[in-house]
Amino acid sequence: MKTEHHSTLHQRIFDLVEAIPAGKVATYGQIGAIVGGCSGRIVGFALASLRYTEDRQVPWQRVINRQGKISLTGPDAALQRALLEDEGVRFDTEGVIDLAEFGWKT
């Protein structure tokens, strides 16, 4: 299913996520704070809506939770981890990304 319209807020979220360089990650809350007027949860909802669009190639995998972990589960989590590892992002034995090293400094 392809959607032709996203809210202006979603567009702003997508624009910001597209600015995260390969090999770096940002948190949902960080994106929400920069965009303004939304929480990390709304950022997550916006990124989840990408599965229903073919309009953009937003690097959704670069957004993680504030603990430095992937919030998704199952095959989606494995895909996100693989995409991040392909970009050079490393995980510790607990599945945590070091935000001091890999966090996007805006």
| pLDDT tens-place string over residues 6-54 | 589 999 999 999 999 999 999 999 999 999 989 999 999 999 988 766 6
Per-residue pLDDT at 2 exceeds 70: no
Structure confidence at residue 5 as a pLDDT band (50, 70, 90): very low
Any idea what the Cα angle at residue 45 is, between residues 12 and 6, rounded to 5°?
45
In a domain, 106, yes or no: no
In a domain, 96, yes or no: yes
Q: CA-CA distance, 59 to 31, in Å (whole number)?
A: 13
In a domain, 31, yes or no: yes
Domains of the chain: total: 1
In a domain, 2, yes or no: no
In a domain, 33, yes or no: yes
pLDDT digits 0-9 by tens, 54-64: 667 899 999 99
Q: CA-CA distance, 65 to 73, in Å (whole number)?
A: 13
Please give the model's pTM, rounded to 2 decimal places. Answer: 0.90
Q: Which domain holds residue 43?
A: 8-100
At residue 19, the pLDDT reads 97
Q: Of 80, 78, 49, nearest to 64 (Cα)?
A: 80
Question: Domain containing 64 — which CATH number?
Answer: 1.10.10.10
SS3 of 68, please?
Answer: coil
At residue 14, the pLDDT reads 95
For 53, how many CA atoms within 13 A lie in the half-sphere containing its CB? 18
In a domain, 48, yes or no: yes
In a domain, 68, yes or no: yes
Residues 6+ apart with CB under 8 A from 80: 60, 61, 70, 72
Cβ pair 63, 19 in contact under 8 A? no
